Structure 1
Amino acid sequence: MIVSVIMPVWNAVNTISKTLESLRAQTFESMEIVVVDDGSTDGTTELLRDQNGIILLERPHRGIVPALNDGLAAATGSYIARMDADDLCRPERIEKQVNYLEKHPEIGLAGCRVEFGGDRKLQAGYAAYVDWINSLTEPEDIALNRFVESPFAHPSVMFRRELLSAFGAYRDGPFPEDYELWLRWMDAGVNMGKVNEELITWNDPPSRLSRTDQRYSVDAFYKTKAEYLFQWLEKNNPHHPDVMIWGAGRVTRKRAAILKACGLRITHYIDIKSRRLNCDTPVIRPEEIPDPDSCMLLSMVGNRGARKQIYDYLTECGFVVGESMLFC
């Protein structure tokens, strides 16, 4: 078997049939579908028992991480693909991701662009996030932007089985399990890329875990990446542990405190407004930023429009992402 598709399922009786249809319609034949039923109570279990062509693991309800890791333990494929029970694959999805990994032996994990399966007006924030992850397809762009937000839709990825034994599987804790895995593997040197095509429809129902579980809150994402961001800076910041942070608002300073607890020293905050903070760290205006050879600058402004303006300004000043500045 070449590919194992791992799909944890919990109370998905209304969507699972179409998801399985999209997997059975794949043009790639050497594939098994491992479905882990995580103690469903809505009829999903009974529906799955009547399905042909799947490996069904029935488990008590423990959550997504134990379900994922049980699926991984049962998988026999050389490549592991993820899928969720409310999303849809294009028929060529598995074939194109296998071809990508076969042609790029230096890449350990391959995602793809995704179609947003929601209402762009009612769910504008999520739609903007989908547009952002779809803009990141090259390994370097993915690596340099991984501290902004998670650069992959979880059900869109396929990775080499050997990464699990080398760097570990999913971890359970107060954090998004997929983002933590990407950050941990990239910190270990795993290169990640994407097939530059929309190969899945990523739906956004109200019940999606990323909308309902505190492990996927903004604060949980930031706490997850703070440790790995600090480790990246240890390796790549010539001025370590000193950094300057663009952004001086309350939320930015709250998150900067997490980095300070890791051991970073914030020499200045940067803001377009003159501010007096209730701390010893001075605030300077953009025109007062020293030259790129003198500092490492972290932009922690969350607004996407502002992020682009900051990037343009710093680039004109000679700053380079990954060398003298980083967005997070």
Structure 2
Amino acid sequence: MNVKSTPTSLQAGSPKVSWLLCTHQENELLHRAIRSCLNQTLDDFELLLIVNGIHADKLALSLQGVYGRDMRVRVIDTPIYLLNFSLSLGLHLARAPLVARMDADDVSAPDRLERQFDFMERHPSVAVLGSAYELMDADGHVHGKVSPPETDREIRSHMHYQNPMCHPSVMLRRQVIVEMGGYLGGKNAEDYDLWLRLALDSNWQFANMSEVLLSYNASPKGEARRSRTAYSNAAGAQLRNFLVTRDLRWLLGSALSAGKSVMRATRA
């Protein structure tokens, strides 16, 4: 693993927010996503680019060549091609108390960091903050808007049966997530697994902002999140919460997710 960033940037004071973006390939969608992270109204941040896969070293060199002059950008490469590992690695290396997630083919609104940072400052009990988001295709055409539940009570109620948090829209309290063990869940359900573990701790809250702060590229990701593997991993996380809490809603949610996994397997 290599951490490529300038000594000056690492010696400076901690930023307010750390962007966390993981990728295994370089294309125009990635550069579009990076530009949206860099062009923010709140400029006290660092951008962690976690590059993974067997060709991560070459990709890291390429990205360093493009963004290396920007003192806010840190490029980290690892040959381990596993999103859970990359996310937890990024959490470990992040220098800010707040971490903003971002995917390599989405676009963040220019005021996203400012709005979410202000919200987190005013609501110290919120550990995970998401937002409303619009659905777009790879060409940037918008096809709709999603307004998730906003309050902690509503989010926790929905969480028994589905994921009410859009992962690339969230801002996290780093220390809280680290103490939870970081990302441990299976493929395509790493965020839902984390939310369910955090939901067992009543000291922390979830929230979603009503403003649209993310353009979510749904075209390549929708099928992955509705795959047999994703539903199987979600069912396992829900069953774990039932065994811990004995709340029958978790058991019902697990049964529904398992059923969806079986249906996916039948169609395959």
Q: What is the aligned counterpart of 1:227 among 216, 234, 240?
A: 240
Q: What is the aligned counterpart of 1:83 among 102, 126, 141?
A: 102
Distance 1:165 1:211 in 2: 24
CA gap of 1:46–1:168, structure 2 versus 1, over 3 A, is same
**Equivalent pair of 1:147/1:229 in contact (CA under 8 Å):** no
The answer to whether 1:15 aligns with 2:34 is no
Offset, 1:160 = 1.0
CA gap of 1:172–1:209, structure 2 versus 1, over 3 A, is farther
Count of aligned pairs: 234
After the TM superposition, which segments of 4 or more aligned residues of structure 1 sit over 6 Å from their partners? none
Q: What is the aligned counterpart of 2:75 among 53, 56, 64?
A: 56
Distance 1:252 1:59 in 2: 36
Q: What is the aligned counterpart of 2:131 among 90, 112, 120?
A: 112
Which structure 1 residue ranges, 5 or more long, are not aligned? 256-328
CA RMSD of aligned residues (A): 3.1
Distance 2:164 2:191 in 1: 10
Q: What is the aligned counterpart of 1:151 among 152, 164, 189?
A: 164
SS of the counterpart of 1:145? helix
Offset, 1:64 = 0.5
Distance 1:152 1:23 in 2: 20
SS of the counterpart of 2:103? coil
CA gap of 1:181–1:97, structure 2 versus 1, over 3 A, is same
**Equivalent pair of 2:128/2:207 in contact (CA under 8 Å):** yes
| Residue deviations 1:50-77 (CA, integer Å, cap 9, x gap) | 2143100011142111111111111100
Distance 1:209 1:253 in 2: 15
Distance 2:199 2:222 in 1: 26
Counterpart of 1:210 in structure 2 is: 224
Offset, 1:102 = 0.7
The answer to whether 1:30 aligns with 2:44 is yes
Distance 1:97 1:70 in 2: 23
Counterpart of 1:162 in structure 2 is: 175
Distance 2:169 2:239 in 1: 25
Counterpart of 1:194 in structure 2 is: 208
Offset, 1:108 = 1.3
CA gap of 1:68–1:106, structure 2 versus 1, over 3 A, is same
Offset, 1:20 = 0.9
Amino acid at match of 1:117: M
| Residue deviations 1:121-179 (CA, integer Å, cap 9, x gap) | xxx9xx7xx73xx2311111001110111111111111112203432211154661110
Distance 1:185 1:16 in 2: 30
Distance 2:171 2:29 in 1: 22
The answer to whether 1:140 aligns with 2:153 is yes
Offset, 1:231 = 3.1
SS of the counterpart of 2:246? helix
CA gap of 1:3–1:96, structure 2 versus 1, over 3 A, is same
SS of the counterpart of 2:28? coil
Distance 1:44 1:76 in 2: 23
**Equivalent pair of 2:23/2:50 in contact (CA under 8 Å):** yes
The answer to whether 1:4 aligns with 2:23 is no
Identity of aligned residues (%): 23
Distance 1:194 1:109 in 2: 8
Distance 1:85 1:149 in 2: 23
CA gap of 1:211–1:167, structure 2 versus 1, over 3 A, is closer
Counterpart of 1:312 in structure 2 is: none
Q: What is the aligned counterpart of 2:85 among 52, 66, 72?
A: 66
CA gap of 1:149–1:25, structure 2 versus 1, over 3 A, is same
Distance 1:253 1:60 in 2: 32
Max Rg structure: 1
